[in-house]
Structure 1
Amino acid sequence: MTDSARMIMNFYSRPYGHAFQVLKANEAQGSFTGKYLKADSSSPVDISGYFHFHKDKQLTTLNFTAQGFNFQLAAPYEKHAPAFKVWKGERIKADAPDSIEPVEFDPIEEVNHVYGIPAELHL
C-alpha cells in the first residue's frame, strides 16, 4: 500500500466538530479529493487540495479550502514514515487572512472510540 493510500480515511476536528474525508489521493501529483462537513451542517461539500511528504522535516502537509476557510495542516511521521494519526494546523478565514485559529483533526475511527461521535457526523 502506498503512503498516500493509507491517507484515505475520515478525520474529525476537536473542538469544532468539523470532519473531512480523503476519498482519493494521487501521490505523483500530490493532490487529493474528498468531502468536508461543518458541524452545523448536514450536507458535506466536495473538496480538493494538495499534500506533500517532507522526509527532511518528518511530516506530511495537507491543504484545502472549504466553506470559506483555508486549512493548512501537518501530520508528523512515525518511525521515519508518513503517519496520519493527527493533523494539526490552522483554519484561516478566506476573506479575513488575519483570522487564524488552531485546529486539530484525528482519524474518525479513533475519535469515535474515545469520544462517541454521533453517526450523523460520518461522511
Structure 2
Amino acid sequence: MTAYADVAPEDAGACCVTHFVMADGTVRQLSSIADQLYLMPDGAVRPASALAPGERMQQADGGVAVMRHVEAGSIRGGVRSFALGDFDAEDGSVDGHLLNAYGMVVADVAVQLSYYRQEGSRP
C-alpha cells in the first residue's frame, strides 16, 4: 500500500538542486527537499544536503552517476513524499522502499523517517 504526505503550498522549506552526470554523459539536475535520501552504490543512503562534488550515486538503470555540485535553496509549493510500506529498521534492508526520481534512486519517506530518528545512522 502506498501512503503519501503533502506539504501545503504555503509551507516553505529547505531544498537542494543536485547537478549530476549520468553514466552515459548526460547532465541532469533534480530538485528535492534537503533531507531526501539518495542511494549510493555501496547501498548506503545520504541526504541531498550532505552530497559532495565527485560522489557517486546509484542510477535507476544500474549505472552510476557522479555528483557535480549541490545548490542549497528554499522551495515554495507542493511536495509529495511516498511511503511504500512499513520500514523495518532492525532488518535495515531498503528493498521495496526505493523510487526512481528522474533516473536517480531515492528512498521513500518510511526510510527517511527511520534515518532521521536514528540521527543519520544507516537504515
Instruction: Provide the TM-score with structure 2 as the length reference.
Output: 0.29
Larger RCO (CA under 8 A, 6+ residues apart): 2
Instruction: Provide the TM-score with structure 1 as the length reference.
Output: 0.29
